[in-house]
Amino acid sequence: MIELDNVAYSYSGAAILSGVSLELAPGSFHFLTGPSGSGKTTFLKLCYGALRPTEGQVSIFGEDLAAMDRDAVAMARRRIGVVHQDCQFLDHLPLAENVALPLTVSGQASPEQADNLRELMTWVGLTEKYEALPPELSGGERQRAALARALILSPDVILADEPTGNVDWEMSQRLLRLLVELNRMGKTVMIATHDLMLIRAAKSLVNARNLRIAGGTLQAAGADL
Amino acid sequence: MNTLDRIKTLAARDAGADRVVPPAGFTVRLTLFTAAAMAFLTVFALALSMAAGRLATSWGEELARASTIRISAPEVQLAAQTAAVLRVLEQTPGVASARALSPEEQRALLEPWFGPDLPVESLPMPQLVELQETGDGYDADGLRLRLQAEAPGAVLDEHSRWRRPLVTAAGRLRLLGWAAIVLIGAATGAMVTLAANAALAANAQVIAVLRLVGATDGYIAGAFVRRFTLRTLAGAAAGTLIGLLALLIVPAGGDTGGILTGLRFAGLQWLWPLLVPPLAAVVAFFATELAARRVLGGLA
């Protein structure tokens, strides 16, 4: 699905990541942990082509990112659902239109897709919020809406960056179960989080590979998790 | 996608793309006002250019083959010298027709300076004789010599001495009008570019979200291009309408009127301003497209 081979990324001369190699195999589940500012978000951005490595190679669905033009990256991104901690939405559009935005920009909006949207909104428990504007939603609702938006095009890979950062424990468990359910449906999932409790809670639900970024390098997380 | 395809896409309503960019913002008012003001000015520049063109043509055609003979003589000799001049002109090759102006016509010529009640008969006025050339023209030097012999008070004025600089001036005024239109178009493009850049900067968050969900640069640019093109079209249409109404207020001076009284369109020329809104929209289309592509290309 997505492969990083000896990737380094530096910004304004400062090395953020170096020597990072990883393959996100189909159907795999990864946790990526590390302290704030360690480079977790940078890692995810490299995975979905929002950043290009300064060294090494990133392959997205078998294509070398360096050889992909901007449109090709956009097309690849439609196969990758991304959930951000800050849940960026278009605040002037109702929630349903925000969730359906990937359909709109890819020209796939149709009555059939409207059914999918309803199913998805029901699955994340937001059927009552169709017409609500994003600023009117709670943190948990925004996270679930972001997850629904990431799933509307039925992507192969889901990358979640601190998806439980702004929600309480109960909601974070609910989101985790949603992501595990998606993984059981065959989706590749990677969750970047500094919440070790979340990773521990997932142990009974999914066989995840735990990784840690420390000192700009990617390592297998130890037994402390 | 080539430019033609993009324009076709723009013309076909895409409600989704239209809605992704927030509708509010000062760039809406800025674009509408700029387009309206520029269209208003364009209509005037167009009218000026066309009025100058009509004047140049009018002066060029009407005066090209006309000359005047001014007979200044004591009152007792004036009729005889006039008759002699007309006789000479009848016999001059290249003169198609000649006639002495009536006192009424001479009074009309002086009316702009002295008013309608000028008693021409009581003034020592020269007699004017107007002549029209044939296509081959006449020998001006030979005519002058014959007039000198037959009517010593007659002076031939070929008009060309003062006509040429006027026609040149009118032609240049017409060019200036077109140059002003080009400059207005460029200024419109620059203003729309500024407004588009401001809108793109103000909507950085929107662009980030669109990219996150897989929007191509073409889609994002199209959302802005469509909006600015349609705003410019609406603003320019309003400005053009106001400009046309303003021109209707300017007193008409007929087709051969001067610049001030003739600052309007004639006949089918009234259709020319209808091109202003679509042309302004085309300028906005390319200005926004370039601005959007540049901004999006500069983003990671």
Tell me if chain B has a CB within 8 Å of the CB of A153: yes
Which of B209, B216, B219 is closest, CB to CB, to A90?
B209
Q: Which residues pair with A161 in a beta bridge?
A: A192
What is the share, in percent, of chain B residues with pLDDT greater than 90? 32
CA distance B28 to A61: 41
Which residue of A70, A71, A103, A105 is the best one to mutate when testing the B interface, meaning the one whose CB has the most B CBs within 10 A?
A: A105
Which of A51, A82, A105 is closest, CB to CB, to B210?
A105
How many A-B residue pairs are in contact by the CB < 8 A criterion?
63
Stretches where chain A sits below pLDDT 50 are none
Sheet of A188-192, strand order: A80-83, A157-161, A188-192, A29-33, A209-214, A217-220
pLDDT of residue B259: 60
Sort out which chain B residues have CB atoms less than 8 A from A75's CB and list them.
Answer: 214, 216
Sort out which chain B residues have CB atoms less than 8 A from A70's CB and list them.
Answer: 216-217, 296-297
Between the two ends of chain B, the Cα-to-Cα distance in Å is 22
pLDDT of residue B7: 59
Which residue of A90, A159, A161 is the best one to mutate when testing the B interface, meaning the one whose CB has the most B CBs within 10 A?
A: A90
Q: Which residue has the tokens 């409207």?
A: A114
What's the average model confidence in pLDDT over B120-141? 83
pLDDT at B179 over 50: yes
Which of A78, A90, A92 is closest, CB to CB, to B214?
A78
Judged by CB atoms closer than 8 Å, whether chains meet at B213 and A51 is answered as no
Q: B140 falls in which pLDDT band (50, 70, 90)?
A: confident
Burial (CB < 10 A; 0-12, 13-18, 19+), residue B60, is middle
pLDDT of residue B56: 79
Sort out which chain B residues have CB atoms less than 8 A from A93's CB and list them.
Answer: 19-20
Count of CB atoms situated within 10 Å of the CB of A113: 16
Query: How many angstroms separate the CA of residue B288 from the nearest CA in chain A?
Result: 19
The rounded Cα A39 to chain-centroid distance in angstroms is 15
Tell me if chain B has a CB within 8 Å of the CB of A93: yes
Sort out which chain B residues have CB atoms less than 8 A from A51's CB and list them.
Answer: 300
For residue B171, give Cα distances in angstroms to A113, A220, B67, B165: 63, 82, 22, 10
Which of B211, B296, B300 is closest, CB to CB, to A51?
B300
Tell me if chain B has a CB within 8 Å of the CB of A78: yes
Sort out which chain A residues have CB atoms less than 8 A from B20's CB and list them.
Answer: 90, 93, 101, 104-105
pLDDT of residue A171: 79
CA distance A67 to A45: 17
DSSP-derived 3-state class of residue A24: strand
Which of B16, B22, B215 is closest, CB to CB, to A92?
B22
pLDDT per residue over B85-114, tens digit each? 999 999 999 888 999 998 888 888 888 777
CA distance B40 to B240: 5
**Amino acid identity, residue A201?**
A
Q: Lowest mean pLDDT: which of A44-58, A164-178, B137-151, B172-186?
A: A164-178
pLDDT of residue B13: 45
DSSP conformation letters of chain B? --HHHHHHHHHS--HHHHHHS-S-SHHHHHHHHHHHHHHHHHHHHHHHHHHHHHHHHHHHHHHHTEEEEEE---HHHHHHHHHHHHHHHHTSTTEEEEEEPPHHHHHHHHHHHH-TT--GGGS-PPEEEEEEE-TT---HHHHHHHHHHH-TTEEEE-SHHHHHHHHHHHHHHHHHHHHHHHHHHHHHHHHHHHHHHHHHHHTHHHHHHHHHTT--HHHHHHHHHHHHHHHHHHHHHHHHHHHHHHHHHSPP--TT--TTTT-S--GGGGGGGGGHHHHHHHHHHHHHHHHHHHHHHH--
CA distance A213 to A198: 17
DSSP A36: T
What is the share, in percent, of chain B residues with pLDDT greater than 70? 87
Tell me if chain B has a CB within 8 Å of the CB of A114: no
pLDDT per residue over B242-299, tens digit each? 999 998 887 766 555 556 666 778 888 889 999 999 999 999 999 999 999 888 888 7
What's the average model confidence in pLDDT over B225-239? 93
Tell me if chain B has a CB within 8 Å of the CB of A89: yes
Which of A88, A89, A102 is closest, CB to CB, to B214?
A102
Sort out which chain A residues have CB atoms less than 8 A from B298's CB and list them.
Answer: none
Which of B206, B211, B214 is closest, CB to CB, to A90?
B206
pLDDT at B27 over 60: yes
Judged by CB atoms closer than 8 Å, whether chains meet at B210 and A93 is answered as no
Judged by CB atoms closer than 8 Å, whether chains meet at A74 and B20 is answered as no
Which residue of B14, B203, B212, B224 is the best one to mutate when testing the A interface, meaning the one whose CB has the most A CBs within 10 A?
A: B212
